[in-house]
Structures are given as structure tokens and as C-alpha cells.
Structure 1
């Protein structure tokens, strides 16, 4: 697949989300059944289109958010939370920045307070907006019914670019219909209407909506049941989500799905595969704590929060599922890959030739320290993953913190597991897991004289 250049542009309605997290030990005396929430802690996080942009930026992706913000404390706080990881292009807002406050007791939402009914407006030239949209590798429209997608000039600019730029439209019950030509529209079951029941009926409804909206395709999201994708011709696919033992806080999962799906289209994936990556990404978002893990009350935006960035198995699972769905072989290879060199590249190219996709299981920083010592790694896990992802032979990267990737392999179930070095399969701790799922283990020799440890010693000797 060939990705497009340029940023992912998210355009839509941004909100400031606030969580009041406390505990409840008793009910309110004058309102039986209403909990008294005590010891509440305040947590701010980006919401709406801002959350979608935040999720997209986690993958070291360039993201531009086009949204309307008020000149008020909520608008300033929202910009602070996004920080430098998301570039902001602001439009005028008539009224106050929307704020949604969840009151939560013992991990359960007991009430929500909504403030600010500001609506987007265009009071100046749209030249800057047109320039940003022209630069996009893909466009995500995150409609929260606050008026931005109703603006005639915004709709015209989006419609003009639909023929050349992939557009994902995430609709809202109080929002506007997608512009004709959108590559993919992503309603949930309630927004789709008549989408309950058998997956075949859901696929039929998705095809009907694709025809009605004149969209390339529609993916109806089904929460823990994944999504059903279909186009107007009737081609369809069901994408299941990996079961979670404790779903926890699912707030924001739809935004995570839309962000990962749009990012996949920017990477050059077709819509069906993009939906698979979206489902996997949303699952990982919920697994990592969902909205409760986003942002911070004081620290603002962290472009690499540990819970969300250290478990990037979502893309790997989506890649594996897509390859298996067409009868292909999934290959996985493991290693630290600290200071990538010719030996690494040779190993990965040979591994990729054994199947139809290659997932690299990458030792995280804690794992490398345990294996190599306190002065390693030389390169952090996110930079190592970014470099590996740039290789044409690598389809996905999965970071793990344990000394061996046994948990990753249990979930990935590769057809081939590749390890470099002078091992035999029976010496490897991963072999029983791989073979239990019907896979084979292949040990490939390394190029002589190439190793990161050797490079480190050579540099140290030279500097003495």
C-alpha cells in the first residue's frame, strides 16, 4: 500500500470534556437514590473533534484540527490540552465553547452537565481553510451538531475535494448529511437507524445509506461487536472486535475508531481494511482506559501517554485479520532493534518474504533494559517503532514490555514466527505458543559482523 503525503486534517466541533471523579458512600438524604459524590478530582480532556485529533496524533502522525473555539477559559484550556502535537486552525465561534462535565462515582457516570451552546461561523475569507484541506492526506469530519458542517462554504470546500482526497465522515444525530463523494461514513447503530439485528441486515442498511448519501461506503459501528462495512454495490464485510474482559469506560471509542480509520486511509488502505484498523484501534483505546486515560488535569497534552502508546497492538491485529481474511500468511518477527543496521534490515526483508505481511514485535524500553542492561536502549521505543514502520517490508509494529512477547503472540497467532541468531526453534520460549496456534518457528542467521552491541563497543573504543 502506498500512503499519501500531508497531514491528517480533522474538521469538526471541538468540546472541552471534564470529569469529576469521586467516591460515593451514601445517598443524598433529600433525594433517595441520588449518590453523594465526595473527594472528587477534576480532570480535563479534549472532546469531540479534538479527541479524534488527539487519538490520531498518538501514532506520530501530523494532525491539523480545524474547529471553532470561543475566546473563553474553556477554549484556552482546550488549546492547552492539545499542545504542540496537534496544529490548530481556529474559526469563529458565536457563543461559548461547549463544555461537557461528567460526574462519576466509583468509576460510574451518575450525571452529565452541558454548558456552552456556541455555534461555528465563517466571518472572513476561507482561503486558509482551503489551503489546509488541499494539504491533507485524508480528511476526517467529526460532526457533533454544533453547526460547522452546516456552513455552505465548508460543505462546498469538502465536496470539491471528495474526488481526490479520502474523506471519513463521522455523523451526529443533530448534524448534517455527509457531502456527496465521501469515501466512508461511520454512523453507530442508533445513528444509522434500522441497523439492529443480524449482520446481514446491518450490511443491507449500510449499503442503503451509502446509496442515499452518495458515499463510497458506510461502516456501521456496533460497540463491542465491532462494525459492519458495505458499499452501495452490496459488497460487505463484518469486522469483529477482540473481546475485553472488562470494557470499562467506553466514552470516546467512536472518536478513536474514526481517527484510526481516517489514518488508515491516509496510509493508503482501502476502506474495508481501514475499518478493520479502526475497530482494532478503538479496542486498544478502551483497553487502555478509554476517555479516563486521556489528557491530564494539570499536565496538559502528553503526545506519548504510556497507557495508550505502549500498547499499539491494534494496527497489528487489524493487519493480521485482514491478511487472514483473504487466505494469506501472517509473519511476525521479534527483537530490540536498538540502532537499526543492515543486519536488521536483511533479517526483516527475509522474514517478510515468508508470508503476506510482517508484524514486528518490538521490545519496549523496560524490556530492553532488563535484557541488555541499564544503559540501553540507546533509542527510545517510540522512535524505534517509527523507524521500523518506515521500512517497506514492515506492515505493523507491536511494542511489548515483557522480556518475551508471549502475550503478543497469544493474541496475534502468527503463521510464522521468525527469530534471528544461532538458535534452534526448541530453544526459544516463544515456540510452544506459536505451535499451539498452528504456526511454525523459523530461525534465520544474522549477517556476520553486524550487531548493535558491536556498534556500541566500537563507538566507545573510538571515544576513549
Structure 2
């Protein structure tokens, strides 16, 4: 398991079933397509999907939900075993099952059946796990699990970041949530006026933020992105999707909400969390959405027994052997800040593993001058290895990582946008094995030097008053 901050998901779990097949004819007794079934898959949906997605990088995730003694509940327990920790509320009735019938990957019909009523917690486990969370995600599917623990959620909302993914049939978020994430249809149902313009969505978001006493509301608009609004704001922020995909959008909302909650758990601002979540949701849809079998084929990264500080050279060989893309980046990382975190998360999404190349203490001192490093190598490596986006860390003693890269042979070498690729000595080395150097956007105004100077000024004695 990585050192990523723990996350608690509270909400309604469903069992999703996909019946897949091909259709080449209509039934003789009705104008309905005949589907020749080729496969049938079961997987957790709703809050169960959100929790599983949040745990993909090895993050500790606790799922508070209502489960019963029916076969659908047992199937959810089986699929989530080893991925998340379950805290179960009693369920009177059966777990809802949503069945999609697909022909050549396109949904033809959805059938919903089952459903029960969640009961109240039977011991003190729920307030305990909420108190330990770095962030909470409420995945409300209108089945009232959140209602059963509402008092406990209200007690933590003013001190712990809470993301609330609402539902028109569910309850309003508790006051003080950091981010609410209705989609366009849900926002329109909650504030109906028939207008689907950006201005109307911005007005709805601001009205809902005021009504719910939420710090921010992000209205998800599908391929248009997410509109982030605040109460009384006249200038919302629109975060567009990085690219359009023809993949299955099923589960994209859960991916967005879980990624935003994970970002807040790691200390991101709501604006940063939304940007990260939009990118992750786009990649999720492009990979096939909730129907992507690879999501459930293996346990989440970090729970396979391999420690976060994996051997970088063995990891690179392993990823190459299975046809994956090895991504590397490098730097001093003397004081890890938001610019570093954003760069590493973006770099990890490019390929199948991220290896961070770090200057040794001597190398860093030669580059940065007297008084550096501020953090010695062991601490810098430990902090980097704890990030969910980092798969391995490699150390180099030289002034540049060229020799180390010649051994790792990454497919992609990433640097922040404050560098010029043409001036990097690594570029020529990468060409020898067909690698590619790229720049990624970098948060302006974030640097270790700036932070160090600010800290030094704060420590200076102030002149005595008159």
C-alpha cells in the first residue's frame, strides 16, 4: 500500500451486470433486436465502483455502505475483497441490481431490480473511520445510505474535506462540504428552468452552493468538461476535458468524484482537484469506462506485495516486457510542493509506470549551492515513494541523469514547463534508443527556492516597536 492519504467513501452500492453480445436480426414476433449473448460480467457499481477506483493506486479506502444476505451483496463483497475495507450497515431487503444488455458494445436496454432500506450503524465504527479520514466521498444513488449516517457526516464536514456526489432522489449535502458534484441533468432537476446554456449551469451551481452551504459546486457537463462555481460568484471556472473519447461513459461520474476526493485528501485546492479529476475521468472513459475488464482483473497497485520503493530497473524491464510504456522524470525535489505533485500525477497518466530520478545530496549541493539540500536524500526518497503516482525512485550522483537514463531507457522523459527541452542534455541520450522528451504544464509560482526564501524571511527577527 502506498502512503497516499486515506479516503472514506459513504454511499449506496449497486451490483452492475453487463450482458454482452451481437445483434444481427430482429425478433419475428416484435420489432426488437435479438442479442446472441457472448459474455456476462458482474461488478460493483455506485459507491462500490467509486471506492474501487479510489483504491487503484494503493490508497487506503474504507467503504461505508449497506449490504444484506442476498446473492448480489455477496457478489459485491467478493469483488471488493482485497481492494477496500468494508464497514457494513444492515440492509432490509436486497441490493439493487442494474443490468445492461449491450450489442457490439452499445447499450440496448437497462433493467433495474431489487432494492432495500439501509439501517443505522450498530456500533461506533462509522464515526471512528470518518475521524481518521483525510477526505470523505459521499456517493449518493438515492438509496439513503448517507441518510443513515448523516449526523456523523455533519460532524466531520467542517474539519475534513467532503465531496458529495448528489442524486435527485437522495438527500441534500450536509452543510460545509468542500465540493458537490451534480451532473447537468441532476442540477437541472434540482433547479429546473429548461435552459441548458453555460450561463444557466453557472447560475444553478451558484444557487446550489448557497442552498447547500457548500464551498464549491462542480457541475459535470460530459464532453464539455466541468463548471466549478461558488455561492455568489459571477465568474465560474470551466475545466474542459483534455480530449474527446468514444469510449463507454458508464461510471465516469464515479471516477470524477473519487479522483476529486483523492486530490483533496492529498491537500489539493478544489480548483486543482477538479482539474485532476477531469483528466482522470477522460482517461477512464477512453479505456472503456466501468466495463473495462482490466479494472477488476488484478488487485489495485500497491496491494500486490511489491513495496512502493520497487527496484526501478526491474520495474522498467517488467513494463517493457508486457508492451507497456515506461515514463521517467527527474529533479531535486528538495521541498515537495504542489507544482511537483501536479507534474508527477500528469506524468504517471502518460504511461504504465513512473520512475522518478533524484539528485543525490552531493549532486544537489553542486547544483543549488550552499545550504542545500534542505532535506537529505533518504527523506526525499521516502516522501516521493509514498506518492500514489510514483512507482519507483532512482538516485543519481552525477550532475545530470544521463547515465542513469541510459540504464533505465525510458520511453518518455518528462520535465516541467519551466524548462526548454532543446537545452536538456537528456534529449540526445533518449534519441539513441528512440525515447521522447516532453514538457508538461507546471503550476506557476511554485518552487523550492521561493518556499525557502519565504521561510527564511518569516524566521528573521522583527524590529522592536517604538
Say whether residues 1:405 and 2:412 are aligned partners.
yes
Alignment match, 2:343: 359
1:187 Cα deviation from its structure 2 partner: 0.2
Q: Which stretch of the first structure deviates more once superposed, 16-25 or 286-295?
A: 286-295
Structure 2 match to 1:218: 217
Partner of 1:236: 236
Cα distance, 1:30–1:278 mapped onto 2, change above 3 Å: same
- Give the TM-score taking structure 2 as reference length: 0.69
Look up the SS of the partner of 1:102 in the other structure. Answer: strand
CA positional deviation for 1:124: 2.9
Could you list the per-position Cα deviations for residues 367-422 of structure 1 after superposition, in whole angstroms to 9, with x for gaps in the alignment?
99xxxxxxxxxxxxxxxxxx9793299895599x995228xx7xx9945267999x
Pick one of 161, 176, 179 that aligns with 1:181.
176
Match of 1:253 in 2: 252
Q: Is the 8 A contact 1:202 1:220 kept in 2?
A: yes
After superposition, the Cα gap between the structure-2 partners of 1:300 and 1:70, relative to the gap in structure 1 and judged at 3 Å, is farther
1:111 is aligned to 109
State TM-score, norm by structure 1: 0.70
Map 1:210-359 → 2, pairs under 5 A: 210-234=209-233, 236-244=236-244, 246-294=245-293, 302-304=299-301, 337-338=312-313, 348-349=331-332, 356-357=339-340, 359=343
**Cα 1:37–1:240 shift into 2, 3 Å:** same
1:192–1:398 distance in 2 versus 1, CA, 3 Å: farther
Aligned to 1:390: 383
2:117 maps to 1:133 = no
The correspondence of residues 67-146 of structure 1 with structure 2, limited to 5 A, is 67-122=65-120, 124-125=122-123, 127-146=124-143
Q: Quote how far apart the aligned CAs of 1:38 are.
A: 0.5
Distance 1:272 1:251 in 2: 24
Specify which of 139, 158, 167 is matched with residue 163 of structure 1. Answer: 158
Q: Which runs of 5+ in 1 are unaligned?
A: 306-335, 369-386, 438-464
Q: C-alpha separation between the residues in 2 aligned to 1:258 and 1:436? A: 24
Tell me the number of residue pairs that the alignment of Structure 1 and Structure 2 aligns: 370
Q: Deviations over 1:15-49 (max 9, x none)?
A: 010100111111111111x1111033111111000
1:415-430 to 2 correspondences below 5 Å: 415-416=418-419, 423=425, 425-426=427-428, 428-429=430-431
Check conservation: 1:388, 1:394, Cα contact below 8 A.
no
For 1:218-241, what per-residue CA distance to the aligned partner results, in whole angstroms no more than 9, with x for missing partners?
000011111011111416311010
Mean alpha-carbon deviation: is it higher for 102-111 or for 194-203? 194-203
Query: Using the alignment, how far apart are the partners of 2:255 and 2:411 within structure 1?
Result: 29
**Given that residues 195 and 202 in structure 1 are in contact (C-alpha distance below 8 angstroms), is that contact kept between their aligned partners in structure 2?**
no
Distance 1:98 1:389 in 2: 43
Which ranges of structure 2 fall in alignment gaps of 5 or more residues? 303-310, 316-327, 356-379, 393-407, 442-466
Q: Note closer, same or farther for the CA distance 1:346–1:69 as it changes in structure 2 (3 Å cut).
A: closer
Query: CA deviation digits over 1:104-135, x for unaligned, max 9?
Result: 1111111111111212112734x111111111
Q: CA deviation at 1:247?
A: 2.0
Contact 1:45-1:294 at 8 Å conserved across structures:
no
Which whole-Å deviations, capped at 9, do the CAs of 1:279-307 have from their partners, x for residues lacking one? 111111111110111578xx7663249xx
CA contact (8 A) 1:44 1:295 kept: no
